Structure 1
């Protein structure tokens, strides 16, 4: 099968998963609100956009063609900061904290704080449905004392959320399963499956054309920044 046809099939499969997850999120949201809960997500709240978003390379390859020059420049600057954080971080916890504190939110937010690539966002973004007010999505829970943490957890509907977080559980579970299916498809096609930080993967695709290198049968590890090995917090190979 021709390389471009392979990528087309992988992208179409991922987009099918996106559509299915969107339908499921609507059902889960309706069920939760039907029993008295509230899904607080709305345009421009953007709290979850400060989180470290990991996605499949397939999703990054699918999203890349939809970016304009300004978005590409913002992504590149963001990725350079992430690489420095990756070098300096001793563990995942310190990397995630530094990413939030020093790098900032997703570079694909527009001036109003809304996602500028909403229709093309990955599974990980689509799966987050907050059952609590937006400020909880940006809160650093390590700064809370034990009483405050207990008060937060007491507010959670443990039958519905991915405890101890405040996000609905079912969409995240389905999204994780869909990601695994996308990775399996990718590994079948190229012998390797790649996941990583969304802005970093996008920058790799835009600057190094990693999709083309994979299609040519060339190992990605030879073309990616030397810091980004399997123990990097930015990218993983399986």
Structure 2
């Protein structure tokens, strides 16, 4: 049976996938950035390993999948387009827990800690396999975060649970491990290689909409499917977009930046 065309302004196609084609110029800038990053990161990692460096991340490791993630709306659209309605509902439920945390956390440290311990793991994580169910459209921060030390250092509370001797040992290990910035165990060059994705997203949003939108991954992925929010974004109306986000119960300065 032939499916009817999607009406203008309708963010749902027949079936269960959201796909607004008019955002292609924005999302394609991100997709090109993802592809370029994959090539550059792969080449850098080969050289790093040949020099004796080690990447401890691998399939099934989920130690960082409960971290808060900052993205551009351009990236959120890439993910939103790939989600089924059932997946989008799980993302929205997660976003509402994020908002509640943002509204009640007294400072950034508490916000991050509660995100990891109480808001919990990303709803797109398949806990049975330890794999991302939307790996191809995962955001930049999920692509460029790699550990030069074992995954136990990535777990929530790892630093807080160390005694003074263990913290001193950690600092020494980080300082002598190639690829780190000397302070944290994450591989700094792989993070730096992703910066062009952020720059491309910012430029694409400015060119198409006259504004930029940044914030929490799950909040923005949910708002990317909100017609009122996106209509205001398309008009370059930051105030209108904020009002739409507030009407949806998803506006808070900690997780949404418009301008």
**Fold in common (TM above 0.5):** yes
1:205 corresponds to 2:224: yes
Unaligned runs of 5+ in 1: none
For the pair shown, the structure with the greater C-alpha radius of gyration is 2
Indicate the structure with greater helix content.
Answer: 1
Determine the structure 1 residue equivalent to 2:241.
220
- Cα distance change of structure 1 residues 102 and 5 upon mapping to structure 2, 3 Å threshold: closer
Q: Is the 8 A contact 1:52 1:99 kept in 2?
A: yes
Q: Is the 8 A contact 1:38 1:131 kept in 2?
A: yes
- Cα distance change of structure 1 residues 161 and 74 upon mapping to structure 2, 3 Å threshold: same
Residues 95-144 of structure 1 show CA distances to partners (whole Å, capped at 9, x for unaligned) of: 11111111101111013221111111111111112111122111421332
Q: Is the 8 A contact 1:95 1:233 kept in 2?
A: no
Select 1:17's aligned residue among 16, 33, 37. 33
Select 1:160's aligned residue among 163, 179, 185. 179
* Count, aligned residues: 234
Residues 50-81 of structure 1 show CA distances to partners (whole Å, capped at 9, x for unaligned) of: 11111110011111121123312211211111
CA drift of 1:221 comes to 1.0
CA drift of 1:158 comes to 5.3
Looking at structure 1, the residues matched to 221 and 250 of structure 2 have their Cα atoms a distance apart, in angstroms, of 17
Superposition CA RMSD, Å: 2.2
- Cα distance change of structure 1 residues 174 and 211 upon mapping to structure 2, 3 Å threshold: farther
1:233 corresponds to 2:249: no
After TM superposition, the structure 1 = structure 2 runs for residues 1-238 of structure 1, keeping only pairs within 5 Å, are 7-110=23-126, 111-140=128-157, 141-156=159-174, 157=176, 159-208=178-227, 210-218=229-237, 219-225=240-246, 228-229=251-252, 232-238=253-259
Relative to the length of structure 2, the TM-score reads 0.82
SS where residue 50 of structure 1 aligns? coil
Relative to the length of structure 1, the TM-score reads 0.89
